[in-house]
Amino acid sequence: MPPTKIKSVELPDDAASLNAMLLLLMAAREQEKQRADVLQRQADQQSSLAASLQKKSDELYIENLRLQVQVDRFKRWYYGLRADKLSTALELGQMSLAFGEAFESRPINQDDLPKDEKLEESPRRVRKARGRRNLENFDKLPVQELVYELSEAERTCPCCGKQRAEISVDVNWQLEYYPGHFERLHHVRKKHGCASCDATGENPRIESADKPAAAIDKGLPGPGLLSYIVTSKYDMYLPLYRLESLFERQGFRISRSTQSIWCGDVADLLEPLYQRMIQRVLQSHLIATDDTHMPMQAKDKSTRVYMWVYISDEEHPYNIYDFSTSRNREGLINFLGDYNQVLLADGYAGYNGVVTGNALTRAGC
């Protein structure tokens, strides 16, 4: 690159001329500096004015929205139908109940769901992929380590009487839920073997510590997590998709399909207890029953199904719920079996076929 040529300037020879030239240059520089300061102040004032105008615009926009909401409310009150003119909390509750029933009866459109959340054809029996489920953020959860150790008496070798040394551990992970946060439970089962017997070529007498029984054998969810999901769904009537959102806000996402499979596993685990409760209810002197209909998601539409409740007497204080897809008497006959005491029910004609021809007594409510 060729060197840059600097234009030469002829300077006067006398000191007075040089001094005058220097003063002129300093005055010009000071004027430029003052001009730059003025421009900067003007820019700051314009920026402050723009911010003030933007804030005022935002306030006016919010005020406009608030007024629009009030205008729409007055229009509905003045011009709307009678259903829109709610004067009491009871009327509002009745309208909300009717809207909820109508909304729940509408089928779910598959196209409205994300690709990874399409409803399965079979809600219960799905083909599981090999390996552990890919649950998000599992490695980021806090860890609680639980160590299961043999007692001093259990570590004593039954063959030679010497203390068995620790040779290895069995490790597995479990996902547990505590109200408000998740934790990983690190189960460590220590194994002990007799070094003396192993050295002589005999059986090393390996023994490992026991660990608490799991609700799902070799399953990831802990008992607290399963209890929370089942209680929320069946006692608090909280749908699984809302639990999925709740868990995700707490830092760990569990899909509704996985929760549904876990609910089925818990149902299988509690089946003996459920059958025992049915036996106790059928020992009652009086059983009160009634049914309620509800929508169930089916292919391309929702269908009406029924939930029956059976309430026993004070000596057998249990409430049993029995699901059926129809309201005919077959469900009642299958549940009651050879029960021959008192059945308390309403005037539904389907009960007539249940009590006719047997020792069952029907009481009206």
In the chain (365 residues long), the average pLDDT of successive 10-residue segments reads: 61 79 86 90 88 88 85 75 53 61 61 55 52 68 89 88 88 84 88 84 81 86 93 91 92 92 94 94 92 86 90 92 85 84 83 74 80
pLDDT at position 364 is 79
Domain-embedded: residue 41: no
Residue type, 116: D
pLDDT at position 86 is 53
Predicted TM-score of the model (pTM): 0.50
265 with 220: CB under 8 angstroms?
A: no
Which of 256, 281, 306 terminates a domain? The answer is: 281
pLDDT at position 310 is 94
277 with 354: CB under 8 angstroms?
A: no
Range of the domain at 153: 137-212
Residue 15's CB is within 10 A of a number of other CB atoms, namely 8
Question: Which residues make beta-bridge pairs with 297?
Answer: 302
Rounded to 5 degrees, what are φ and ψ at 180? 100, -15
Q: What share of the chain is helix, strand, coil (3-state, %, to 5)?
A: 45, 20, 35
Domain-embedded: residue 116: no
Question: Strands 143-148 and 181-193, how do they pair?
Answer: parallel
Encoded tokens for 39 = 């421009």
Residues in CB range of 340: below 8 A, 6 or more apart: 358, 359, 360
Domain-embedded: residue 206: yes
Domain-embedded: residue 57: no
Domain-embedded: residue 76: no
Which of 262, 281, 300 terminates a domain? The answer is: 281
pLDDT at position 287 is 92
Domain-embedded: residue 62: no
Number of domains observed in the structure of the chain:
3
